[in-house]
Structure formats: C-alpha cells, structure tokens
Structure 1
Amino acid sequence: MTSKKHLFDIPDDVTYLNAANMSPLLQSTNAVGKTAIDQKSQPYKIQGTDFFSPLQELKKLYAELIDTQEAQRIAAIPSVSYGIATVVNNITLKSSDEILVIEDQFPSNIYAWQQLAAQYDAVIKVVEKPTDPIACGKVWNAQILNLITEKTAVVTMGNIHWADGTIFNLKAISQKTKLVESLLIIDGSQSIGAIPFSVNEIKPDALICAGYKWLLGPYSFGLAYYGPYFDNGVPIEENWSNRLNSENFAGLTQYESQYKPLANRYNVGENGNFIAIPMLTDSIRQILQWNPKNIQEYCHSISKHVIQPLRALGCLIEADDYRAKHLFGIKLPNHIDLDKLKQEFKQKNIFVSFRGQYIRISCHLFNAQKDFDILLSAIQNVLR
C-alpha cells in the first residue's frame, strides 16, 4: 500500500493527523456530493425508486465491509446517539442489573444508558483505565472480562477507545457476554473502515457507526447493524418508508401495519438521503478496494519510526499489540508547556486532538512518513 494523498484535497503544507475528529472527503466523494446537490435542483429527475434503491446498494456494500450476509439488518441513522437510542428503547432491565461501560467512553454512548439505569434502578459499572502505562491495554482487557458477570445485562463500548486507541478484545468479550446472556453493543465509529471487523466472528447485538470518520463519508449520516435480539423491536419514530409496500406511492394511504423485515424498521425518517447516500456509497466502495487490513498496516508503516524517539523524550504510548495503528494517544511529560506546544503546532499547520495531557494522533492513507517526522520535530522543539 502506498500513499493515496492525490485522491484527497489536503495541501502539502498541512500535516493532518486528526481524522478521528473529522475525516476529509475523497475527491471522488466530493464530486458525487456535488452532483447529488445538482440533482435536487432538478427534482423532476428524481424517481420513486431513488427513495429506496440507493440505500439498499449502500447497505449491501456496508454489509460486505463488516462481514455479514444480512444487509437487511442494517439501518440508516443520522448519528450514533440515534442508533444507541434505538437500542436503549428496546431494552428492559431489572433492579440491580449492571450496564458495563469503559472509563471516559464517548458521551453519545453514555447518556442514554444513564437514563435507562435510572429508569430501572440499574447500575452503571465503569471499567477504569489501569494506571500502569506499560501494560495498560492488557490489564484493561482482563479487567473487562472479570467484571462481566451474571449481573451484567449490557456491555456497551467501542472496538477501540476513542481517545487513545486502546484495542479491546471483542472476540473474548463477546464470548463472555454470550456465556452470561448479556447484550454486546459496539460503537464502531472510531474503527469501522480502518480496522477489519467481522459481525460473523464477533456477533454483536448491535454495531453503531457514524459515517463521517473512518467511513470517509459526510456528516449527519451513519449506519447501524441490529442483531436478532432487535428483530421485533419498537423504533423511536414511525416513518412511511419503513413499512411494507411503501414503494407503491399510490397506495400510501392504505395504511400498512407491518414493517419491512429485520432492521428496516429502524431507518431514520427521510432515509433515502439523496446527497449523503451516494457520497457514503462512493467512500465505502473505495475502502473495500483498499481493505481495512491494508489501511492498518500502512498507518503502522508510516508512524512506527517515531514511537521510540517519543518515548525517549518521556512520552508514554501504549504497547503496539494493544493500540490501533490509525489512532493512538501520546501522553506528554508533565513538565511540557502545552500552550507552547499548541502554538508550535499552529505555526507548522499540524492538526491533532488534545485530550488533557494526551494528544490523539489519527492518520490515514492521505498521510506519509514525513507527517510524523514533522510531528516529532515539533514535540522535540518544545521539550528541548
């Protein structure tokens, strides 16, 4: 795999290491979006099938990406919070049931669970991040497995930690949840598209994913996989296109009591998004050609040479086996002047995310080794 920067619109003087915040669009995806906007300017060209067929094509591509043969278990969502709300809307708990979450989990995968716990007098159990910086990932995974018990009703987490890239062993976690008959809900927003993921292997009860990060798609559109537990659930809204025979526009007032099969009932209203769907279809098709496995390997190849020099400067970085290669955290030495570092980054057009004493680095195929050389040089300038 080689750099694909020519397929993006990032100037040579910009070091963009912040795809976990917002990925750039491929130039081809940008062009598709502009064409889609033009189509809305001429609505007489929009046909009835345009409300349905493009979404079905997108679902099939996404099903291939997450390794499932059941594309109809995928729903169109506007956000992770919407997808999680659908999950929470279909769960009933008992008093003292436990909902297992990870320390410093992203809030869109926290707030709804807090409300559910309060509703049923259930318990939110937080698996705290270990203080050992050397074996953090290994210990953290062990703690998660130990805290999944007969009391656990739900485990809800990411494939990796959104702030520092710690990899969680979802296969082992899934096996434990199945053993105690608890639900496994995965927020894949910081991993799907950049790390290989198999629904067939992991068997999550739900996999929720925003489209604007590692799927390289537009903002405000995402995709959610819902397993058999949710087959007969209740959606958080009712819209016409999710019912059987909705393709028959002439018969829409012959109100239909039955939903379309599987996760189609959970599609957000106006799910035939004429702009977002063709854009996300284009980007996922490109990701499939690249293959997330190759993306991980490329990200590792362009960044691995700076790990030891950063550690020599007093920075802490998770061991390679327990961190993602497209997203990882660098814990800065306590004595570093953060304001000075931010100013250095600004002057050199380096874009990262600051998370307390950490900086989050997130790269992709539009990056190259020189981007990490520039990053290292800037940190060295401030620390020295």
Structure 2
Amino acid sequence: MISAEPLPCQRHLFEVPEDVSYLDSAAWSPLPRAVRAAGEAGLLLKSRPWSHPRAAAAEGAERARAAAAGLIGAAPDDVAIVGSVSHAVATAARNLPLRPGGRILRVADEFPSLCLAFDRLAAERGLAVEAVARPADGDWTAALAAAIARPGAPPLAVATLTPLHWADGGLIDLARLAPLIRDAGAALVVDATQAAGAMPLDIARLRPDFLAFPTYKWALGPYGVAFLYAAPHRQGGVALEENAGNRPPAAGARRYDRGERDDPVALPMAAAGLELIAGWGVPAVAARLRALTDRLAAGAAELGLGPLPRHLRAPHILGLAWPGGVPEGLVAGLRDRGVFASARLGGLRLSPHVFAHAADLGRCLAALAELRRGA
C-alpha cells in the first residue's frame, strides 16, 4: 500500500556517498542496492545454469513486463520488451502507414533516438519534417498546439513527442496535446525516456499509438532494457527483428519482443527498479523531486542563472541558463567540488533523484556561487 505521507529521502537504499551530490539522473541513475542484488543473482543463475530451472528466465521477463505496464497504467499484453528506445521508435516507424505529403511534427533539438527512424521514413515516403522552434516564452505546449492547427500546413501524419524537453526539463503537456493530434487524424509516438518513473504517465488519457521508455535513467534499472507500449490497433505489425518468441502464437505487443528476450541478469534488475518505484508511487516520487528542483531553482535564480518558470518545467529536471552559455570547465569544476551534473544545449542540467537531500542541494548551490564568481 502506498503511503499518503511525503516520500522521505531514500539514500539508504543506494550506494551514494555523503560527499557526493549526484544530480545527473537524467543521464543515468545509480542502481539501488536491491537492483544490484537482482543482477548478481542473475549472474549466478547464468554461471550455474544446472542449478536453476530454465523457466525462471521466462518468468523474469513476464515480471518485468508487468512492472513496466503498471508504471504507465497499461496492460502487460500491450507492452513489448525491446533493447532500447531507438529499437522501439524504429518499430513504431516501421508500423505506421504514413502517406506521402503528410507532416511529421517534433520539437527543435530533439534527441536523435526519436528522430532518425522518422527522418529516414520521411525521405522514403515523401513526408515533411517540422521541428517547432524553442518558444521565447518557454511554453512548448502552446507552440506545439499552434503548429498542429496552423492553417495551410501539410496534413499532420504523426507527432513524435516527449513529455518534457530532455535538455532542460521544459514541460510538454501531452494530455493537452494528444486530443488535438487525434482530432487531426494523426498518430502519436511518445518517447518517455525522461519521464517514466519520475512523473505520472497515463496511457488511458494519452492514448498514444506507441510509447517507449528505457530503465537506465528514472526507472532505476540497467542498460539494454526498454519497453514499448503498442496500442491494440497497432499490434498487428511486423517486429524489427523476427525470432521464434515473437511469431504466432505470440499475440498483442509481444509480437514486437526482441530476440534473446529472457535475459536472466538485466530483466530481474529492471523489474526490481520498477517495483521500487511502484512501492513509492510515481506521484510521491514526482512530489519529492519537485520539492528538490524548486529549492535548486530558487537558489539558482539568486545567482542569476535563469531557470524556467515553475509552471513550464517538469518536476525532476532543472535547466539553468548560464549567461553566455556554459563556460568551459564548469562541469569539471562542479565535479571537483563533489557535484555531478551535465551541460546540455548551452545550459546546465540538474536532475536529482530520490536519494538527493538538502546537503546535496546546498553543496551544489555553493559550488555554483563559487564558480559564478570565478567566471
């Protein structure tokens, strides 16, 4: 049962030293102790296969599938196990019947894994690609809504979107945009890499054609595991890679499962991380992360580092606009002071997870103040 109390710091479940302020979970998250233990148990299974029933690996795949489905409010039968988000996006692109003359909509400076397969598709089928420019006021949702409805534009064929901009956490309200996309007769493909596990996602409300996310960021899992939700009317397509496991009688989204699916190491790790999040509840995780980024935003604003307004940013990623762009050596200077963050598209990206606490925020802000004076 999920507690109604605010989620306290979960640092005791991780191996993050007290002198490390790790604010870079949007790049990759540390593994919780339980997730590492699941991986070690899987290594033992593979090291001594005669000591373990082979069916256990297949059971682990279904456990991970069910946990991934639960995270986004989907049914397990509607979720495929794939190797990466790029694998998932390529599967979606392969199975959308897009006609020449239509338009593919995305935001500017989108992450390549959401773009490359659709760029190829556009070239092959005569589709236009429209990348909506970064809005001066920071309101991506309004800019995208205007682009969807723009008079004289080619008909919208597919929108390939994310719930937030990966570089700075700028919010993209898919719950508002999804009905506009459907009303335009277009498909919706969602890359939830920077959202799944850190902010609520509701398949029933968004009704995407496809939605994908990996586990190595906010879902607290390993590399090499990702999940693809396919709407029921999109489940009759062709997998990117065909194998004995995803051919009939496999049904539903299992038709898109990857080869060598039943990894006895990575899938139990993925399941363990997803189940931790389910125990906390994604709304509780989002509320804790919002409190952390709000405190960082207030301190950064005092330093003149220009965060987005609160209502225009996601709860868990804070982009800071360093005047003149992030100076060379800033990220290294932070690291030397025990603070870990990333430079992205000319700004500084801070992304705490549930192990971060007040001392981490204080160390970060003190380091930023010192480096700002030096600059």
- 2:83 paired with 1:75: no
- 2:356 paired with 1:351: no
Mapping for residues 39-78 of structure 1, pairs under 5 Å: 39-68=45-74, 70-78=75-83
Mapped partners of 2:354, 2:81: distance in 1:
26
The 1:272/1:382 distance shift into structure 2, 3 A limit, reads: same
- 2:273 paired with 1:283: yes
Q: Which residue in 1 is equivalent to 2:290?
A: 300
Deviation at 1:328, TM superposition (A): 1.8
Instruction: Structure 1: give runs of 5+ residues left out of the alignment.
Output: 244-257
Mapping for residues 1-384 of structure 1, pairs under 5 Å: 1-68=7-74, 70-132=75-137, 136-137=138-139, 140-149=140-149, 151-243=155-247, 258-334=248-324, 338-384=327-373
Deviation at 1:8, TM superposition (A): 0.3
Number of residue pairs aligned between Structure 1 and Structure 2 = 363
Deviation at 1:291, TM superposition (A): 1.0
The 1:217/1:343 distance shift into structure 2, 3 A limit, reads: closer
Deviation at 1:130, TM superposition (A): 1.1
Q: Which residue in 2 is equivalent to 1:254?
A: none
Is the contact between residue 159 and residue 168 of structure 1 (CA under 8 Å) also seen in structure 2?
yes
Deviation at 1:343, TM superposition (A): 4.1
Q: Percent identity?
A: 29
Mapped partners of 2:299, 2:28: distance in 1:
28
One-letter code aligned to 1:83: A
> After TM superposition, where is structure 1 displaced by more than 6 Å over at least 4 residues in a row?
none
Superposed CA offset, 1:152-198 (max 9, x none): 11000111111111111111211011111111100011100110111
Deviation at 1:86, TM superposition (A): 0.5
Superposed CA offset, 1:227-268 (max 9, x none): 12322101111111223xxxxxxxxxxxxxx34111111000
One-letter code aligned to 2:40: K
Is the contact between residue 341 and residue 378 of structure 1 (CA under 8 Å) also seen in structure 2?
no
Q: Could you say what secondary structure the match of 1:156 adopts?
A: strand
Q: Could you say what secondary structure the match of 2:236 adopts?
A: coil
Q: Could you say what secondary structure the match of 1:360 adopts?
A: strand
Q: Which residue in 2 is equivalent to 1:249?
A: none
Q: Which residue in 1 is equivalent to 2:3?
A: none
Mapped partners of 1:327, 1:305: distance in 2:
12
Superposed CA offset, 1:261-293 (max 9, x none): 111110000111111111111111110011111
Normalising to structure 1: TM-score of the pair? 0.91
